[in-house]
Structure 1
Amino acid sequence: MPSVTHEALVELFKNRPRLAAEMLQDALGQPVPAFTEARVESSDLTEVIPSNRRADVIVVLLVGERQEPAMAIVVEVQLGADPDKPYAWPVYVTQTRARHRCPTRLLVVTTDAAIARWSSRPIDTGHPGWVLTPLVLAPEGVPVVTDAEQAKAAPEVVVLSAMAHGQQEAGEAIGVAFLAAAAGLDQERRTLYADVVLSSLNEAARRTLEAMMKSGYEYQSEFARSYVAKGVEKGRIEAKAHDVLAVFEVRGLEVPSDVRERILASTDLAELDRWLRRAVVVSDARELLATTGS
C-alpha cells in the first residue's frame, strides 16, 4: 500500500502540473520546450502493462493554439528499491511517447539519497543503443524555499522544500514561508499540505512555528488560527479523558482495556463531561459506557 509520503508527493505533481517541468529545468538542468499549458493525463498504461501497474503521474506540456504536445513527463515517486521498476519504467516511457506522439522524459522523485543513487542507474534494455537513464530529483536537488512571495506563487514547491530540507537548519524558515502561502489554498490542499509540512519539520522548527502562530505572528492566517484552535481543542479533550480515568484510579476501580480505549478515543467534550460526572458514582467502569448506549 502506498505510504502517506508517496501519496503526498504524487498529489503535489497532480495539483501543480508544471512542477514536473520546473524541477526538470530548474533543479536538474534539463532543457524543457516552451509551453502554454501543463496538463495531467491519464496514467493508466494497461494497454501493454498488467492493470496493477501504472505510472504515478503523467504530465504533458502543450504548446500553441492547437495545444499540441511538446513533451511528456512520466513522474514516478520512488521511496524504496523495487526490482520491477527497471523493467516497468522503459515501458512507461515508450507507451506514453506512443500515446502522445512527443518526446518523453522519466522523472523519478525520492526523499532518500540512497534510493536516488539506486534510481539513477542506467537501464540497459537489451536493444543496441537503447539505455534509459532516469532523471532523478533527490533531496539535494530540491530548492530551499524561504521567501514568502515565492511560496505564495508556488505552494507545491515550498511543500516539496519542507519534505526535502525540513530536518535541516532552514526548516523553520521554510515552515514560515509555507504559512504565508497557506491562506490562499483551498481547504483540501491546505489540510494535506499542512500535515505534510508539519510532519517534515524538525522538532525545534515545529515548536517555533506553533509558537509563532499562537503569538499572532505577522504571517498568521486563517489556517494558522484554525490550526491553533484545533490544537487547543485536542488538548482539552485529551485532558478530560484522562480526568475520567483518574477518577476511576482514585476510586480503586479497574478499567478494562476496551473501556480505556473507548474513553481515550472520544473526541466529544460533552460526552466526556457526562462520563466524568458518571465516573464518580458508578460501581463498575463498564457502566460508564452503558449509560450512553455505547
Structure 2
Amino acid sequence: MVTHSHEVPIRLFQARPELAAELLVKTFGAALPAYASALPESEALTNNDPLELNCDNAAVFRDEAGVPAFAVIIEVQRRQDNRKQFSWPMYVTILRARLKCPVRLLAICTDSVTADWARRPIEVGPPGFTLLPDVVHPEGLLEMDEQGSAKEAVEILILKAACGGPQAEQVAHRLGRRLNELSESDRQQYAGWALQLLSDEACTVLEEYMSMTYQEYLESPAGKLELKGEVRGVRRGQIEGLLKVLQARGIEVSQSTLDRIEVVSDEDELDRWFVRAVTVSDAEEIFD
C-alpha cells in the first residue's frame, strides 16, 4: 500500500537528485566520480522480458559532456522483503547496461531492524559478484542535519520524519527553524511534505514556526535563546583559537590573563587579540 512515509522521501530525490550523492558521500565516505549535472532517471527498469521492474527512484549524474558518470538507485524500505534479494541486483545491472556507467543502490530504511536486514550482502552467483547496498540508518539522520545548507538540512529532517518514532516533535522544531531559512516557494513545498509525515502534535509545532517569518522567529523567545547560544558558541571558538596560538608559540598564559580572556564578550576585541597573539612575546601584550 502506498503511504506518505514511502512516497515523500521519493519526492525529495525526484526534486533534487543530488541528495543521493550527498548521502553516499557524507554517510559512507563514497568516492564518486566528478559530475556536472544530476537528473532524474526513469524508474522503469524493465528489460525485454515481460517481467516489469520498477525501482522507487533513480538518478543519473553526468559529466560536462553529458556522459553518465554514475547513477544511484534509491529504494525506500519500510520492512524486510526477501524478494528484494532478487530484484535489487537486477535493478543495478539493467541500469548499468542502459547507461554504461557504475551504479550504486541506496536503501533508505525507516527502522533499525530493516536497516540491518538491508545491509546483508546479496550473493548474485559468480564468485565475487556481490551486491552491497548502501543503507542509511534512521538514527544517523538526525545528527546530519546541522552539517549542510538549509535545503539539505530540511531534506535530511524530512527523511527522519518519514521514519516516525518518538523524536517527531524534536524533528518538527528543527524543521521549523531551517524551513524559515528557505525561499517562500521551497518553504511551502517542503513544509507540505513534512506535514504529511508528522504526528498531530509535531504538526502543531511545525505550523507555529510556519506562521512567522525567519526574522519574526529570531525575535521570538525561542529564536533569541537559539541566537544567544550561537553567539556563545562563536565566542568560545574564538577564545579556544586564541589560546591555541599562544600555546603553539610556547607562551605561558597566567591565570589572571586567562580570566580576562574568558570574560570578554566583544567578538571584535577577541579578533584583535588573536591577531596580536601571532607576534607578542608575552601573553599580557595582547591587551595593549
| Same fold, TM-score > 0.5, yes or no | yes
Counterpart-to-counterpart distance in 1, 2:132 and 2:148? 35
- Across the aligned residues of Structure 1 and Structure 2, the Cα RMSD in angstroms comes to 3.0
C-alpha distance in 2, partners of 1:175/1:92? 33
Change (3 A) 1:204 1:148: farther
Q: 2:132, 2:156 → 1: CA distance? A: 25
Greater mean deviation of Cα atoms: 27-36 or 86-95? 27-36
Q: How does 1:217-236 map to 2 (within 5 A)?
A: 218=214
The answer as to whether partners of 1:144 and 1:165 remain within 8 angstroms in 2 is no
SS at match of 1:70: strand
- The answer to whether structure 1 residue 197 and structure 2 residue 189 are counterparts is no
Contact 1:176 1:209 in 2 (8 A): yes
One-letter code of the match for 2:76? V
Change in Cα spacing, 1:167 to 1:145, as seen in structure 2 (3 Å) is farther
Q: TM-score, normalised by structure 1?
A: 0.63
Deviations 1:163-210 (A, max 9, x none): 358742742432223431564326xx835x324423544665544444
Superposition pairs of residues 149-188 of structure 1, within 5 angstroms: 150-152=149-151, 155-164=154-163, 167-168=166-167, 170-181=170-181, 183-185=183-185
Residues 171, 202 of structure 1: 8 Å contact kept = no
Would you say the 8 A contact 2:146–2:153 is kept in 1?
no
Write the distance in 2 (CA, Å) between the matches of 1:42 and 1:210: 35
- Residues in 1 aligned to 2:209 and 2:59: alpha-carbon distance in whole angstroms: 38
Partner AA of 2:32 in structure 1: V
- What's the offset of the Cα at 1:145? 6.2
Q: Tell me what 1:53 maps to.
A: 53
Residue of structure 2 equivalent to 1:267: none
Which runs of 5 or more structure 2 residues have no equivalent in the other structure? Answer: 218-288
Distance 1:87 1:142, change over 3 A: same
Aligned to 1:139: 138
Q: Percent identity?
A: 37
Determine whether 1:128 maps to 2:136: no
Q: Return 5+ residue gaps in structure 1 as ranges.
A: 222-294
Matching residue of 1:108: 107
Shift of 1:36: 0.8
